[in-house]
């Protein structure tokens, strides 16, 4: 009888650990940029993204000639910043929309999930214009785990 309770307890522990792993996975979300409109001749030279109630997990589609800094602050208010280091590394809107970020969402209390930011663009490398990025500019796309795709 004692052995039966040990096995039951062990099975319950495994079940709890498995459900926590699935829950953590479900809290990850992938976003890409969309709805980016530049003026004729403008190129993207920088990006700033702020994330509340979450952390950055991965960033993909990073272009060569760019430097990125991610600050996953323990306050759950994190940031990502990127800059083109060469004029030839500047990007058009189509290239920007190929980037994607995976974030871990972690809401609690009054802290609610929110993505925002800005693109820095220029025509002449002297004058820089800031284009605000709102929630409409971050399109959620499905995540893929080991060949399986999880719908958003």
End-to-end CA distance of the chain: 45
Whole-Å CA distances, 120 to 17, 69, 93, 107, 133: 44, 15, 12, 29, 11
For residue range 5-43, list pLDDT tens digits in order. 565 555 554 445 444 443 444 489 999 999 999 999 999
Query: What pLDDT was estimated at residue 77?
Result: 93
In 6-53, DSSP assigns E strands to 28-33, 43-52
**By C-alpha distance, which of 106, 105, 115, 118 is closest to 138?**
115
Please state, rounded to an integer, the average pLDDT across all residues of the chain.
Answer: 83
Q: Was domain 28-150 assigned CATH 2.60.120?
A: no
pLDDT for position 7: 56
Please tell me which residue, 121 or 62, carries the higher pLDDT value.
Answer: 121
Structure confidence at residue 93 (pLDDT):
83
Q: Where are the domains of the chain?
A: 28-150
Higher confidence at residue 86 or residue 3? Answer: 86
């Amino acid at each position: 009888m004692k052995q039966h309770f040990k096995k039951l307890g062990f099975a319950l522990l495994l079940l709890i650990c498995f459900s926590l792993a699935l829950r953590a996975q479900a809290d990850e979300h992938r976003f890409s940029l969309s709805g980016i409109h530049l003026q004729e001749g403008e190129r993207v030279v920088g990006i700033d993204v702020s994330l509340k109630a979450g952390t950055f997990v991965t960033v993909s589609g990073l272009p060569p000639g760019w430097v990125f800094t991610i600050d996953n602050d323990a306050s759950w208010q994190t940031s990502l910043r990127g800059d083109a280091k060469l004029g030839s590394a500047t990007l058009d809107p189509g290239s920007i929309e190929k980037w994607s970020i995976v974030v871990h969402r972690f809401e609690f209390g009054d802290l609610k999930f929110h993505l925002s930011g800005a693109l820095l663009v220029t025509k002449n490398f002297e004058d820089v214009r800031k284009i605000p990025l709102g929630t409409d500019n971050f399109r959620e796309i499905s995540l893929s785990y080991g060949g399986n795709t999880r719908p958003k």
